[in-house]
Amino acid sequence: MAKNKTHEGSGPTQRQLRVGETIRRALSEVLARGDVHDPELNRMSITVGEVRASPDLKIATAFVLPLGGEGRDEVLKLLARNKGELRRQLSKKLVLKFAPDLRFQLDETFDRMDETRRMLAQDVVRRDAEAPDTDVADGDLYDTEASDRDPAAQ
């Protein structure tokens, strides 16, 4: 049997994306409904931002964040403690040959968005972003919009 060759740096396959999204929806539903028999976990509102499936679909990494961002470490411990029960609940909802092993990581997407907004709000960055679009050609700066309109301007 030929091995499936994947190149380093290549993105996930359509199948990985589809399975990841299916797991994300099912996991979100299980957590929202409180289907796990753990009162500590059930009292928390947890957002499942993304689930990434491994190429063989045997491992699913869920990126989670407690609502409001409070109790990040606690939510990871609670999810890890209930990993087996969550996996059983997912296997009932999913139409997969194997229920994947679940792993949990904090979703830092919102933190990165806040950092990006903070950087874009800096005066230096805003000034550069609002500067006219210029290119360097033969050591001279020229307005690319003018050259796009008039070929003789080049």
Domain boundaries, the chain: 14-110, 117-153
Q: Which of the four pLDDT bands, split at 50, 70 and 90, describes residue 114?
A: low
Between 126 and 110, the higher pLDDT residue: 126
CATH of the domain spanning 14-110, picked from 3.40.50.300, 1.10.600.10, 3.30.300.20, 3.40.190.10: 3.30.300.20
Q: Which amino acid is at 139?
A: G
Distance (Å, whole) CA 14 – CA 54: 12
Tokens 């990494």 correspond to: 61
Reported as a single tens digit per residue, the pLDDT across 19-77 is 999 999 999 999 999 989 999 999 889 999 999 999 999 999 999 999 877 778 899 99
pLDDT averaged over every residue in the chain: 80
Burial track 66-81 (b if 16+ CB lie within 10 A, e otherwise): beeeeeeeebeebbee
pLDDT of residue 22: 94
Contact call for residues 146 and 133 (beta carbons, < 8 A): no
pLDDT of residue 99: 87
Given a cut of 70, is residue 152 above it in pLDDT?
A: no
How many CB atoms are closer than 10 A to CB 38? Answer: 15
Percent of the chain whose predicted confidence (pLDDT) is above 70: 74
pLDDT of residue 10: 80
Number of H helices, E strands in the chain: 7, 5
Sign of the Cα torsion 68, 72, 77, 82 reads: positive
Between 111 and 95, the higher pLDDT residue: 95
